[in-house]
Amino acid sequence: MADPRDLIQTLQSLHAQAKLDDVGSFERLTPTLVDLTNGLREAYQAAFVGPVTALIAKLRAGATPTKDELALAEGFMVGDAEAYVRVENDFQGWLAELARLVKVLAELRANLDPPRLLDALGEVEDARRVVGDICNFLEEKERVERFRATTAQGLDAGRAGLLAKLLQQKLDSAND
């Protein structure tokens, strides 16, 4: 696993070399971003192997986890989603952009002759992209809310066993 600090430095270098008239220069950012995503996730998960392993044993033994242990489980299971929702700062902009695009399409609707069909197609392409961003944000937010709602109901033996199983699966996937 590459050190995330080195990957960030590589990303900075590639970004500095990117040119607006060279799509390939931007496409070259993608592998580094993928590697950085994996490196950050793996580093985070590696930092919590011991505490999560202890929590799994506690849950399997039928002991009730503390509030801090539940926070650990939340961070390990949905911490990536919580961080994304917390640091994302353009959600309101996406909503406004979608409203603007729908309004433009409504205005184009009155006169969809062949040249304007292409204009509408361009607006739809932008709308599809922004809807994807909106949906991704809402899905990540929902993921955190579902986890919190489930653990807020308390952990009976069945829920504790399920949480132990999910933690173990995530721990095992971190080692793959």
The answer to whether residues 139 and 81 belong to one domain is yes
Among candidate residues 141, 143, 148, 174, the one with its CA nearest the CA of residue 73: 148
Residue 111 lies in a domain: yes
Percent pLDDT > 70 in the chain is 98
30 and 103 co-located in one domain: no
Q: Is the pLDDT of residue 175 over 90?
A: no
How far, CA to CA in Å, does 56 sit from each of 13, 65, 80, 85?
41, 10, 20, 27
Look at residue 48 and tell me whether its pLDDT is greater than 90.
Answer: yes
CB 62 within 8 A of CB 157: yes
pLDDT at 176: 65
Residues 73 and 122 in one domain: yes
Of 19-33, 119-133, 160-174, the range with the lowest mean pLDDT is 160-174
Position 173 scores a pLDDT of 84
- Mean pLDDT in the chain? 95
Q: Are residues 5 and 40 in the same domain?
A: yes
How many distinct structural domains can be found in the chain? 2
Q: Is residue 35 part of a domain?
A: yes
Please list, in sequence order, all residues whose beta carbon lies within 8 angstroms of the beta carbon of residue 147, skipping any fewer than 6 positions away: 74, 77, 78
Which domain does 128 fall in, by range?
A: 66-154
Say whether 127 sits in a helix, a strand or coil: helix
Q: Are residues 102 and 34 in the same domain?
A: no
CA–CA distance, 148 with 42 (Å, rounded to integer): 23
Q: What is the per-residue pLDDT for 14?
A: 97
**Residue 22 and residue 96 in one domain:** no
Which residue, among 16, 52, 87, 81, has the nearest Cα to 163 in the 3D structure? 52
